[in-house]
Amino acid sequence: MDDENYFDSISDILATLLESMMEETEGAEFSIKIDKKGITLEKKDAQEEKKEDTELPAEIIEDGKFLYIAMHLPGIEAASIKVLAMQEKIDVSYKRNGIEEKRSINLPKQVSLKGSVEYKNGVLNIIFKKIVHKKRYALDVKYK
């Protein structure tokens, strides 16, 4: 059996298996991992589904020079909050009820990596200065 037919055969078997699993589990989500050890099918963790459904909101507001982010994080251990800034996104990690959680937020504009962060009354406020890119630059010409 050549490689193409082999993979087509595996694909057909997996599709049939997944269809029957979906019927039996009323549409639950699964992941498939194929490696040298074989094929592993895992049902998506109900806790993981709940976490996604209850993801805490973040509001992003911008003006001419600054980007303001407000994340509603009630019940968070304040000392556990960590913010990792990149020019186009931020990662916020924290502990809630002793469980480590992490959120990534894509930013609509590039920002300076220095910013201010304050956690007060269950709200994490982050302020960044936006990086303004000019569309044109005038270059000086040096004569020799």
Produce one character per residue of 55-71: b if its CB has 16 or more CB atoms within 10 Å, e if not.
ebebeeeeeeeebebeb
| Domain limits, the chain | 3-47, 55-130
Segment 105-125 shows an average pLDDT of: 89
The confidence score (pLDDT) of residue 143 equals 86
- Where residue 126 falls among pLDDT bands split at 50, 70, 90? very high
Whole-model pTM?
0.55
Assign a CATH topology to domain 55-130: Immunoglobulin-like (2.60.40)
Contact 81, 92 (CB under 8 A): yes
Percent of the chain clearing pLDDT 70 (strictly above): 60
Rounded CA separation 77/26 (Å): 37
Residue 41: strand, helix, or coil: strand
List the structure tokens of 111. Answer: 């920002």
Q: Where are the alpha helices (DSSP H) in the chain?
A: 3-24, 46-53
Rounded CA separation 57/47 (Å): 19
User: pLDDT tens digits, residue range 75-90?
Assistant: 888 899 999 998 888 9
Residue type, 49: E
Q: Which residue has the higher pLDDT, 22 or 49?
A: 22
